[in-house]
């Protein structure tokens, strides 16, 4: 099972207990999943969303949503399938191309379209998957 799948399984299994301890178990699982998620997000080094043209910037919560969408698109989305995210004032869509090999690593090109106040900005890049399941952008 890939690491991303292990994280999803952990989240799903965390709600399976039926005793009073389920709340503690779910909290611990959620915390460990969040920690693992944060390390994968950090490995993206700001992702392509940090390089949006036109000076568009995102708040912390929107940036987090955008980076999570980038990770999901790179890790699991079929080529050409958008992974979307949305807040009250900003939305985005990440589309990764089909994976390709660079040496022994799987890599993907991708684009991230962000819409804010009726304006769209698109950033493009590529990233390669590391053995630990994180993705590192190509510069």
Q: What is the 3-state secondary structure (H, E, C) of 73-95?
A: HHHCCCCCCEEEEECCCEEEEEE
Tens digit of pLDDT at every position of the chain (139 positions): 344 443 333 333 333 333 333 332 233 333 334 555 788 899 999 999 999 988 788 999 999 999 999 999 999 999 999 999 999 999 999 999 999 999 999 999 999 999 999 999 999 999 999 999 999 999 7
pTM of the predicted protein model: 0.74
Contact 37, 70 (CB under 8 A): no
As a whole number of angstroms, the distance between CA 3 and CA 11 comes to 12
């Amino acid at each position: 099972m890939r690491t991303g799948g292990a994280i999803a399984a952990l989240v799903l299994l965390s709600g399976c207990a039926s005793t009073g301890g389920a709340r503690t178990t779910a909290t611990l699982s959620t915390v460990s999943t969040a920690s693992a998620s944060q390390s994968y997000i950090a490995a993206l080094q700001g992702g392509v969303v940090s390089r949006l043209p036109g000076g568009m910037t995102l708040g912390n919560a929107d940036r987090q949503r955008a980076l999570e969408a980038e990770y999901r698109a790179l890790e699991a989305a079929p080529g050409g399938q958008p992974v979307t995210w949305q807040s009250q004032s900003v939305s985005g869509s990440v589309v990764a191309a089909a994976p390709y090999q660079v040496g022994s690593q799987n890599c993907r090109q991708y684009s991230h379209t962000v819409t804010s106040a009726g304006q769209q900005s698109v950033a493009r890049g590529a990233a390669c998957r590391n053995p630990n399941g994180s993705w590192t952008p190509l510069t």
